[in-house]
Chains A and B, each alone.
Chain A
């Protein structure tokens, strides 16, 4: 507490832009990720709104004509279908590689993982900073493609189209390669930090569940991302030299690209959702004032999800020409994911049972997560069934499914986590009322946007097209209107956070009565996190 008395904390310990750009403090790096990732989210979100605007009407809609009038940046893309493909590609690539993958681990993980295990920093502070610069370099390269021939392959870069298309695939692929390095460095750092830097008494069975989730995520990041790296390098070589590995012309196999790609990208789905589950565990126990139910079960189910995630990638290939036998094997393996996930869900429900639940904004986000993620998860099991998937593949059913998981799951958890930890990060309280309003808009808007897409998909509306037949008009209208509600919700959320930062009341050290270590230090935390190194002699959530 001595640092708190002196009024020194990680925010005011030194000042100037340069002190931030060269900082090795995991908290400052977390804040830098916070700002940049939120900027990417804004860009990706605006693109999502434009896509929905285009789909407001069948035939060439207002969205495209609106887009086509935007000056210079997108000049030359007069064809609305092309333009739609490009905006869709950037929406996907930005949201996946720049927002959801780095999202929770790099922002909240960087900031709170060392705090939660009583460490003074992550194991390799320099690599941590390097990892931020990698993300920045990758992002700059990715945005630079906007000024060349804008890429239209979708974020998956499927061959052979990505070999043949005349757009700047190489640049985009290298950008993703560099961002992958950022992800590997973060994962590597977290694994060593969890292994080596826990404070005295903090055994592996006393680390908070958020740390367990980040740890499992880090394992995936380290073991899966290298395969993405080599896949992208091969794709680059394929485009530059035509090496033939993924090109049927030379006897190469385009489906092998999909295998390699999804060997990373399916585990990457769990890079996106596992940290979100960790956040939910924290919120559940804090806002029910009750020891979490089934600590070990939740911890091991995180590792279980990480392990299973490597065995299921083939469910993306059911209709890609993969053999039937492989399809059947993957179908069964995929359903296994439901087991550890359900373990988590039921333990969260059991935590709430007879708890004294406080309906604060973070808790509302956590409840929203439970509701939306359940829908996303169950439709995932549906899609794991081969015959069902053959029908639903490449329809809006799939779009709705993964948005329920990615947005309804991960983004709800990110928002909940932001509100939960904002007082600790910046030392200010946000306005509860407006935070709840942002939740209301996002939650309702989300369901209005994406639930109709399940119906559209089941009726057979294909995804990735800029147009649809008139009979899908009504549901698409509803969906687009829902997207406006989500947009309003996020704007309210942004305003809430900015206003809290500028004018919020001073936050106490522990506004929520949390039990994990980050709430024991002063707010905002001092440069070396704890005035006195904490000593732990009990589990993380000892509510009586």
Chain B
């Protein structure tokens, strides 16, 4: 599986020079940075009117943060142009974190409802 994979790499290498080295165009970086700055200001904007946004203030703040995180990961960290296996590796970190979170909360919240911790 993987051997064929690397074999196909070496053929593309000989055909197109160094296809492994993806270079993101300069203006993409500028656009992404601009978007990140804009989203940060948006976060603060939403924060200043948070009384009107309740109960969604937190949801909005974290949705914006997630979009920002996606931009950083995809463009600055080049994950958009990475191999699937590297994407899977990175995502697995988050998946196992989710597992830890879900089971800990499952325990704690089924516990609290039976007899309060405090």
A touches B in complex, CB < 8 A:
yes
Q: What CA separation (Å) do A4 and B4 show in the bound complex?
A: 32
Contact of B111 among A310, A311, A322 (CB under 8 A): A322
Taking a contact as CB atoms under 8 Å apart, the answer to whether B117 and A326 are in contact is no
Q: What CA separation (Å) do A205 and B3 show in the bound complex?
A: 11
Residues of A in contact with B, size category: 20 to 34
Instruction: Scan residues 96-118 of chain B and give those whose CB is less than 8 A from a CB of chain A.
Output: 96, 99-100, 103-104, 106-108, 110-111, 114, 117-118
B93, closest chain A residue (CB): A223
Taking a contact as CB atoms under 8 Å apart, the answer to whether B3 and A256 are in contact is no
**Contacts A251-B118, A253-B117 given: A323-B1 contact, CB under 8 Å?**
no
Taking a contact as CB atoms under 8 Å apart, the answer to whether A253 and B108 are in contact is yes
Taking a contact as CB atoms under 8 Å apart, the answer to whether B85 and A223 are in contact is no
A255, closest chain B residue (CB): B107
Is the CB of A263 closer than 8 A to any CB of chain B? Answer: yes
Q: What CA separation (Å) do A201 and B114 show in the bound complex?
A: 59
Taking a contact as CB atoms under 8 Å apart, the answer to whether A323 and B111 are in contact is yes
CB distance from A120 to the nearest CB of B (A): 15
Is the CB of B54 closer than 8 A to any CB of chain A? Answer: no
Is the CB of B66 closer than 8 A to any CB of chain A? Answer: no
B97, closest chain A residue (CB): A227
Taking a contact as CB atoms under 8 Å apart, the answer to whether A203 and B1 are in contact is yes
Taking a contact as CB atoms under 8 Å apart, the answer to whether A324 and B117 are in contact is no
**B interface residues (Cβ-Cβ under 8 A, vs A):** 1-4, 6, 85, 92-93, 96, 99-100, 103-104, 106-108, 110-111, 114, 117-118
CB distance from A248 to the nearest CB of B (A): 9
Q: What CA separation (Å) do A311 and B110 show in the bound complex?
A: 18
New contact pairs (6) apart from A196-B2, A251-B117, A310-B99, CB-CB < 8 Å: A198-B2, A204-B2, A255-B107, A317-B107, A323-B108, A324-B110
CB distance from A321 to the nearest CB of B (A): 7
10 A-B residue pairs with Cβ-Cβ distance under 8 Å, sorted by A, are A195-B2, A201-B3, A251-B117, A253-B108, A310-B99, A314-B103, A323-B111, A324-B110, A325-B110, A329-B106
The 8 A-B residue pairs whose C-beta atoms are closest, nearest first, are: A323-B111, A323-B110, A326-B107, A325-B110, A204-B1, A259-B104, A223-B96, A322-B107
Q: What CA separation (Å) do A253 and B108 show in the bound complex?
A: 9
The residue in A200, A205, A324, A325 that gathers the most chain B C-beta atoms within 10 A of its C-beta is A325
| Neighbouring A residues of B96 by C-beta, 8 Å | 223-224, 310
**Contacts A253-B117, A310-B99 given: A323-B3 contact, CB under 8 Å?**
no
| Neighbouring B residues of A201 by C-beta, 8 Å | 3
B111, closest chain A residue (CB): A323
CB distance from B68 to the nearest CB of A (A): 23
Is the CB of A202 closer than 8 A to any CB of chain B? Answer: yes
CB within 8 Å: A-B pair count:
62
Taking a contact as CB atoms under 8 Å apart, the answer to whether B100 and A263 are in contact is yes
| Neighbouring A residues of B103 by C-beta, 8 Å | 259, 311, 313-314, 326
Give chain B's interface secondary structure class: helix
Instruction: Scan residues 238-282 of chain A and give those whose CB is less than 8 A from a CB of chain B.
Output: 251, 253, 255-256, 259-260, 263
CB distance from A138 to the nearest CB of B (A): 24
| Neighbouring B residues of A314 by C-beta, 8 Å | 103, 107
B7, closest chain A residue (CB): A200
**A interface residues (Cβ-Cβ under 8 A, vs B):** 195-196, 198, 200-205, 223-224, 227, 251, 253, 255-256, 259-260, 263, 310-311, 313-314, 317, 321-326, 329
The residue in A255, A263, A323 that gathers the most chain B C-beta atoms within 10 A of its C-beta is A323
Q: What CA separation (Å) do A195 and B114 show in the bound complex?
A: 48
| Neighbouring B residues of A313 by C-beta, 8 Å | 103
CB distance from A330 to the nearest CB of B (A): 8
| Neighbouring A residues of B104 by C-beta, 8 Å | 256, 259
CB distance from B13 to the nearest CB of A (A): 15
Taking a contact as CB atoms under 8 Å apart, the answer to whether A323 and B99 are in contact is no
Q: What CA separation (Å) do A62 and B48 show in the bound complex?
A: 73
Q: What CA separation (Å) do A146 and B117 show in the bound complex?
A: 38
| Neighbouring B residues of A317 by C-beta, 8 Å | 107
Q: What CA separation (Å) do A59 and B110 show in the bound complex?
A: 43
Taking a contact as CB atoms under 8 Å apart, the answer to whether A202 and B3 are in contact is yes
B107, closest chain A residue (CB): A326
| Neighbouring A residues of B4 by C-beta, 8 Å | 203
Contact of B85 among A195, A321, A323, A329 (CB under 8 A): A195
Contact of B3 among A200, A253, A310, A322 (CB under 8 A): A200
CB distance from A406 to the nearest CB of B (A): 24
Q: What CA separation (Å) do A310 and B113 show in the bound complex?
A: 26
Q: What CA separation (Å) do A484 and B94 show in the bound complex?
A: 48
Taking a contact as CB atoms under 8 Å apart, the answer to whether A223 and B92 are in contact is yes
| Neighbouring A residues of B92 by C-beta, 8 Å | 223
| Neighbouring B residues of A321 by C-beta, 8 Å | 111
| Neighbouring A residues of B93 by C-beta, 8 Å | 223
B104, closest chain A residue (CB): A259
Taking a contact as CB atoms under 8 Å apart, the answer to whether A203 and B2 are in contact is yes
Q: What CA separation (Å) do A224 and B99 show in the bound complex?
A: 11
Q: What CA separation (Å) do A267 and B93 show in the bound complex?
A: 15
Q: What CA separation (Å) do A224 and B93 show in the bound complex?
A: 10
A205, closest chain B residue (CB): B1
Contact of A311 among B1, B6, B99 (CB under 8 A): B99
CB distance from B2 to the nearest CB of A (A): 6
Q: What CA separation (Å) do A263 and B92 show in the bound complex?
A: 15
